[in-house]
Amino acid sequence: MRGAAPSSHSLLALVATILLPTLALAADLPPGFVRLADIAPGIRQDMRYAGSHNFVGRPVAGYESPVCWLKREAAQALAATARDLEKRHWRLVVYDCYRPKRAVADFLAWAGDAADQRTKPEFYPRTPKSRLFALGYVARTSSHSKGIAIDVGAESLDGVGEPKPLDFGSGFDLFDETSWTASKTVPAEAAVNRRILVAAFAAHGLVNYAREWWHFSLAGPLGAPAYDVVIREP
């Protein structure tokens, strides 16, 4: 004997059971944001502020998962740039994407703590910590919190052995004039790599910050709101 046909209420309950986890997951992102892994899975994510290899020396407030979130337009521009650079056998590596406002506050608190100099040898060996604001290395607000900025490097996929980091003349988040995009103190190969990176991003509307060769932001949406949603994945 066949069972009775399910009522409309039971069907609605079944649909809700299936959809609610998905809707809840989508609601975790700020409005208009996407996960980079869904747009460009070939870009490697090395989210430095979710770990301890960064200038603060510990996981930063708001980074509970090591994943890249961006506004859709920024993610699409990044994906297009990555496709262009694949022709050079380059693979992009992102270090930071969306940054919650509480992370910016965490940076400010760190910068104001003169006693904490643990990371100075790697990240600001020649720059006094007290000068990081004045020199533009640490800011009170960030386009990252709007989901329109990316910190990125690249590695070579030449088909021989493991991927090799490309030389850009300085490490990510080195607070030093060596990191200025047009610095004349870096080797010729690094200078060429920086120019290639800047041109590739500019072709898709992503503008470089002159004091950080790795920082690019989407030109245009200056009025975009900043968010403080914690980066958290199930």
DSSP string, the chain: -PPPPPPHHHHHHHHHHHHHHHHHHHHTSPTTEEEHHHH-TTSEE--GGGSS-STTSSPPTTB-S---EEEHHHHHHHHHHHHHHHTTTEEEEEEE----HHHHHHHHHHHT-TT--TTHHHH-TTS-GGGTTTTTSS-SS-GGGGT-EEEEEEEE--SSSS-EEPP-SS-TT--SGGGSTT-SSS-HHHHHHHHHHHHHHHTTTEEEETTEEEEEEESS-TTPPP----B---
Supply the pLDDT for residue 221: 58
- Write down the pLDDT at residue 10: 41
Q: Are 126 and 72 in contact (CB under 8 A)?
A: no
Domains of the chain and any CATH numbers: 32-218 (3.30.1380.10)
Give the residues of the chain that fall short of pLDDT 70.
Answer: 1-27, 220-222
Catalytic residue, chosen from 64, 73, 212, 233, is 212
Judge whether 151 and 68 are in contact, CB under 8 Å.
no
Model pLDDT, residue 234: 84
pTM of structure: 0.87
Q: Which residues of 14-26 are buried (b: 16+ CB within 10 A; e: fewer)?
A: eeeeeeeeeeeee
What's the confidence (pLDDT) of residue 222?
60
Is 64 tagged catalytic?
no
Q: What is the mean pLDDT of the chain?
A: 89
User: How crowded is the C-beta side of 9, counted as CA atoms within 13 Å?
Assistant: 0
Report yes or no: 76 and 41 within 8 Å, Cβ to Cβ. no
